[in-house]
Amino acid sequence: MDFILLNSYNNYVEAHIAKGVLEEQGIKCWLKDENTVTIDPILTNAVGGIKAMVAKADAQKAWDILTELKKEQKKAVVCPKCGSHNIELVSTPRKAVNWLSAISTFFLGDYALAIDKVNHCFDCRHEFPDTEQSPPE
Ligand SMILES: [Zn+2]
């Protein structure tokens, strides 16, 4: 059977959510390069993320499901400042290891290093960390 690349993910959790949703709909999905990314997140960009692969015959349906899922997730994010849903997850440049990041790591722990993506509000330009999504209504 022919498998094609459906989408690629920068993190393990996102990739597994997509896989779980697809399999719920009866679509077989496997994650390529999963091990590389999980062991060393810094390599994620080098290998192009975790690749979600599906059978060619399922690709269109799978894509529709993921598009729907993305819409749902977007709806769940609300700007804490102005209440807008016009939020996009943007990457911030990975900070160089310098005295400043060393200090924030000391005070904030691993959390400080985990943030290299933030939610950006296009209405009030407020930026806030990508926290756990609120539970579905
Ligand atoms: Zn806002």
Q: Same domain for 40 and 104? A: no
Per the CB < 8 A criterion, the answer to whether 101 and 112 are in contact is yes
Contacts 24+ apart (CB under 8 A), 38-43: 38/12, 41/11
pLDDT block averages, 10 residues each, the chain of length 137: 86 87 94 71 67 94 90 81 87 57 59 63 88 49
Residues 62 and 98 in one domain: no
56 and 120 inside one domain: no
pLDDT of residue 73: 74
**pLDDT on residue 59:** 95
How many A from CA of 93 to the centre of ligand 1? 21
The Cα–Cα gap between 67 and 55 comes to: 17
CA of 61 to the centre of ligand 1 (A): 34
Residue 101 lies in a domain: yes
Could you tell me the two tokens for 136?
């579905």
Is 17 a member of any domain?
yes
pLDDT, residue 99, reads 60
In one-letter notation, the amino acid at residue 90 is: V
Q: Do residues 14 and 47 share a domain? A: yes
Residue 109 has φ and ψ, to the nearest 5°, of 75, -160
Quote the CA–CA distance of 53 and 108 in Å, as a whole number.
37
* Residue 120 CA to ligand 1 centre (angstroms): 8
Final residue in a domain of this structure, among 76, 101, 119:
76
Q: How far is the CA of 87 from the centre of ligand 1 (A)?
A: 8
* Structure confidence at residue 76 (pLDDT): 78
Please check whether residue 63 lies inside any domain of the structure.
yes
Q: State the burial class of residue 118 (Cβ atoms within 10 Å of its Cβ: 0-12, 13-18, 19+).
A: middle
- Structural domain for 64, as ranges: 3-76
Same domain membership, residue 64 and residue 110: no
Residue ranges with CB less than 5 Å from ion ligand 1: 79, 81-82, 84, 121, 123-124, 126
Question: Domain tally for the chain?
Answer: 2
Q: Supply the pTM of this predicted model.
A: 0.53
- The answer on 11 and 61 residing in a single domain is yes
